[in-house]
Amino acid sequence: MLGTQLGSYRVMSKLGEGGMGSVYVAEHVLLKRKIAVKVLLKELTSDASIARRFMNEARATSQIVHPGIVRIWDFGQHTDGTAYILMELLEGETLRDRIGRRGRYELDRALALVQQLADALGAAHAQRIVHRDLKPENIFLVDDPAAPFGVQPKILDFGIAKILDPGIDAPQTRAGSIIGTPSYMSPEQCMATPGIDHRADLYALGCIFFLLLCGRPPFDKGNFGDLLAAHVHQPPPHPSSVVASLPPWVDDLVLRLLAKAPEQRFQTTEEFLDAIRAGRESRRLAPEEATAIGSAAAAAAQLSALTPPHGKKAPPHQGAALTPTPPPLTTPPPDAKATTLDPATPPPGANATPPPSSGGEDLSRTRAHSADELAMPQLRRSRASTPILLAGAFVVTIVLGLGGFFLVLRARRATEEARPKSAHFFIDSDPDGADVYSDGKSICVTPCRLEKKLQSGDEHWVVAKQGYGEEQLTLPADRDGHARVTLKADKTP
């Protein structure tokens, strides 16, 4: 195959080989642009059903114009009968290789990637195409600075896609045949149920989402039959049972995608994307904001409890540390004469008072008087320290309050930085080469990618090409979008 010319492209080198064919790198003989060439094995070309499936992949994929779907440039048969597809050449790695190399994704990256995949699947479903074999091997990760986290996933291999459009001559799957890969098949695929629709892809997306969050698919034990039975009968595990830090709303998203009955899942990719946006909105108030403010308030309350209210007497102090201390004992000099005091005789210089009727009554009065005297200095110390405690409580409250404020500000800034600032739009037309006008000015020629600042409302364009009528195009301005406009030939002579 090397050196063979397919139209304007010459096959240069071999990229890889699979069970049904090989992939080569080809180069345009004049433009020197490189593309990938997928070639069906010669021995399989004679099998009519396999050849139809191979051409079905090219036909199905070529109808979908989206940055998350590999682009098909041409397809056909070589002079020797070999079937081939000319497609976009991708540089990167498959999701399977990425998971095997680095393990599971953190939550924000997993959410961004699954949103991109859902948006790409939505473009396929809009063309009434069901992939039916979404799996990590069919998701190719390409570096793209304009994409979230710098990575754009590309969905490959629509070889067993189901085309729901009766106007397209697509090969039919035999009744009772099982189509798909066991770890990512929906229950209806496992049971070979007729009438499988786009909701089978949503189930597979749930398996991919679980893989991104947990590093493994929801069901990965046993042989082929065990896996089929698990998808049909066994409840899927909660992602948080594998990764405990995952929030409940993420569990709800995954489990709804993995519902056994198609009618219990999200019914469209857009409904799923709306649920993700609602979940992200619920994370806007970070838990640490309330914690910081609550800690400051609690500390201030504890400090203020130590200080008596202004104008009120401090309550009696309890405990050994606050017990009044008796005056120190003095030792008489050696030459001093011993003196014996008569309890009935008053001390010198004191007014004579009648002897107490009971020594206990006078003694208790003396103890009470002494306690008041001894307590007075301690009470004066408490009153003197009141301004200090108040000032300390005020300073600590201000410091903790400022700390909480800056923590809140930091959390909100991080939330704003993580939120996308612009929306990306991919616009194509049939036929291509049409001008896209905004405010009367041509801003690009289809197919083209536009970037606009996120805002509420809609973006409006006019798509026009000489010899064809103009078409109005409107897309929501608060999210990424894609559109393919079909232009009608101008019948005006």
> Among all residues, which ones are annotated catalytic?
133
Q: Which residue has the tokens 């709303």?
A: 249
DSSP character at residue 178: -
Q: Which residue has the tokens 């106007």?
A: 167
- What three-state secondary structure class fits 146? coil
Q: Which residue has the tokens 């946006």?
A: 277
Relative to beta strand 162-163, strand 422-430 is unpaired
DSSP character at residue 69: B
Helix/strand/coil (H/E/C) assignment for every residue in 281-342: HCCCCCHHHHHHHHHHHHHHHHHHHCCCCCCCCCCCCCCHHHCCCCCCCCCCCCCCCCCCCC
Task: Answer whether the bond into residue 447 is a cis peptide, omega within 30°.
Answer: yes
> Across-strand partners of 75?
85
Q: At what angle do helices 199-214 and 107-126 cross, to 10 degrees?
A: 160
Measured in whole angstroms, the distance separating CA 469 from the mean position of its chain's CA atoms is: 42
Write the DSSP string, 240-295: GGTSTTS-HHHHHHHHHHT-SSGGGS-SSHHHHHHHHHHHHHTTSS-HHHHHHHHH
| Distance (Å, whole) CA 452 – CA 461 | 13
User: Cβ(155)–Cβ(117) under 8 Å?
Assistant: yes
Name 282's Cβ contacts closer than 8 Å, sequence gap at least 6.
249
Stretch (H or E) spanning 474: strand 471-476
User: Cβ(156)–Cβ(70) under 8 Å?
Assistant: yes
| Distance (Å, whole) CA 322 – CA 75 | 96
| Distance (Å, whole) CA 80 – CA 192 | 37
